Amino acid sequence: MQLLESVRTSLEEVKGHPLRSFFTLIGVILGTLAIVVVMSVLDGVELGVWQGVEDLGLDGVLVLSQRKPTDPMERAKAYLSHGLRVEDQKYFEGSNLISSIGPVGESRAVVTAGRVTRRIDVYGITPEFVAIKGRKTIAGRFLGQSDVEAKKPVCVLGFKLKEQLFGGDNAIGQQVSIGGRRLTVIGVGTKFNMEFVNDDDMRKETGGAYIPFTVYQDMFGREISYMLAKTDDPEKSIDAEDEAAGIVAHAHNNIHDVRVDNVGKEILKERGNIVRILRNWRIVFFSIAGISLLIGGVGIFSVLKISISERLFEIGLRKAIGAGDGEIFMQFLIEAVTLSAVGATIGVALGIGFVKLISGYFPGGLPVSFFGLSVASGFAISMGLLAGLYPSISASRMQPVEALRA
C-alpha cells in the first residue's frame, strides 16, 4: 500500500506541474529515445554489413590465375607446363584443406531479349562455383552438373539484368540471345545486399548472366579465366594457400605459372576491422545518449529538491504522527524512480515509433533492438534511483519541529 501510495503521489506531482515535469523528464526521454534508436540503427547497419560480406562469397576463397613465370630458368622451360587447365582440379582430390575447386570463364557479350539489348559480363561456371560463392536464386534454379555435362543451352540471369530485360514479367522459360546463341532462362539470382558493401564483382554479377562452363567453352574458347578454390576453415586460409601453390606447382612440373591470391585472408582481415569500427560506433553513440540520461538525472535531482522544500509541512506532519525515517526515505526515492520510469516509458515508445518510421530506408528492415530497450530502461531507472538518493536521505533526516516550523 505504501508503495502504491508513493507511486500515486509522484504521478500527481507530474500531473500537477506539467511544465516542470516536462523539463525534468526531457533529458530522460531524449536519452532513452537515443539509446533505442542508436542501438537499433547500429544493429541494422551491422546486419546489412554482414549480409553484404556474406553475399561476397569470399570467405576462405583462393583465386588461381595464369601468370608468366618470374624465374628466367622457369621461363626457358615454360613449355613443360600446359598452363592453368580444367584438368588441374584432379590434383586437389587428396587435399586436406581445400574442399571445393572449379574453373570459371569470364567474358563480355551482348545479350538480347525482345527489343532490349545490353552488353554484359558472362560467367561460365560449374556447380563448384555455386557452392564456393554460396549463390542462390529467387526464381527457378541454378546451374547443375547435368547442365554442364550435357552442354544444355540454359542460363541464369543476375537480378538486375532480369529487371532490365523483362521488368516485372516472369523470366523463367524465356529465350535470350547471349553472344549470338539462344539460351533458355532457368533461374534468376538473388539481389545482393550492396547498401554497405558495394563491390565491383557483386555489381557485375547482378548485372550479368551465368551459363554452363562447357557452353562457355564452345562460345568463347577453351581457356579458363581463373579457378576458385575454398577451404571450409577460413582461419586456415594461409595454410590452404601454401598447399594450393604446392599442388599446382607439382602439376605444372615445378613451373610457377599460376598465381594464388588469398582473397579469403583479406576478407578475414576486413571482418576484424568491421568488428572494431562497429564497436567504436557503439561506444561513441552510447556515450552521447548516456550524457542525455545524466542530464535527466540532474533534472530529477533538482525537481526532487524543490518538491521537498515545497512539502516540508507534509514531512513534518507525517513524522509527528509516527512516520519513520525509512518511510520518508522510501517515499521520495520511489517518487524519483517513478519519474525516471515515466520518462523512460515515453522515450522507449518514441524510440520504437522512430525506428519503425525509418526502417523502410534499410534494405533488410530495421528490427527494434531489445538489447537497446533493456539498456535504455535500466539505465534511466538507475539514474533516477541515484538522483533520488541524496534528496530522499535529506528528507528522511529532517526533525519534525523544524519541518513544521518551515
pLDDT at 285: 77
Asked if 113 and 127 count as a contact pair (C-beta separation under 8 A), the reply is no
pLDDT at 202: 81
Q: Which of 314, 305, 312, 313 has the alpha carbon at shortest distance from 335?
A: 305
pLDDT class of 323 with cuts at 50, 70, 90: low
pLDDT at 151: 94
pLDDT class of 143 with cuts at 50, 70, 90: very high
154-157 vs 209-212, strand pairing mode: antiparallel
pLDDT at 150: 94
pLDDT at 227: 92
Q: Which of 405, 404, 398, 402 has the alpha carbon at shortest distance from 328?
A: 398
User: 39-75 burial, b for 16+ CB within 10 Å, e for fewer?
Assistant: bbbbbbbbbbbbbbbebbbbbbbbbbeeeebeeeebe
User: 225-234 burial, b for 16+ CB within 10 Å, e for fewer?
Assistant: bbbbbbbeeb
pLDDT at 67: 76
Tens-digit pLDDT profile for residues 377-393: 887 788 778 877 777 77
CA 3 to chain centre: 44
Q: Name the average pLDDT for the chain.
A: 81
Matching residue, cell 549463390: 135
Greater confidence (323 vs 203) lies with: 203
Q: Report the alpha-carbon distance of residue 289 to residue 291 in Å, rounded.
A: 5
Centre a 10 Å sphere on the Cβ of residue 121 and count the other Cβ atoms it contains: 18
pLDDT at 106: 92
Centre a 10 Å sphere on the Cβ of residue 23 and count the other Cβ atoms it contains: 13
* Torsion of Cα atoms, 393 then 394 then 398 then 404, to 10°: -120
Element (H, E) at 53: helix 18-56
Asked if 9 and 324 count as a contact pair (C-beta separation under 8 A), the reply is no
pLDDT class of 216 with cuts at 50, 70, 90: very high
Q: Report the alpha-carbon distance of residue 20 to residue 24 in Å, rounded.
A: 6
pLDDT class of 401 with cuts at 50, 70, 90: low
Q: What is the mean pLDDT of residues 342-354?
A: 88
Q: What is the mean pLDDT of residues 92-97?
A: 85
Greater confidence (182 vs 193) lies with: 182
Tens-digit pLDDT profile for residues 264-312: 888 888 888 888 888 888 888 777 777 777 777 777 777 777 766 766 6
pLDDT at 380: 79
116-125 vs 209-212, strand pairing mode: parallel
Residue 141 has pLDDT above 80, yes or no: yes
Cell of 178: 547471349
SS3 37: helix
Helix axes 325-358, 312-320, angle to 10 degrees: 130
Cell of 115: 527489343
pLDDT at 189: 92
Residue 363 has pLDDT above 70, yes or no: no
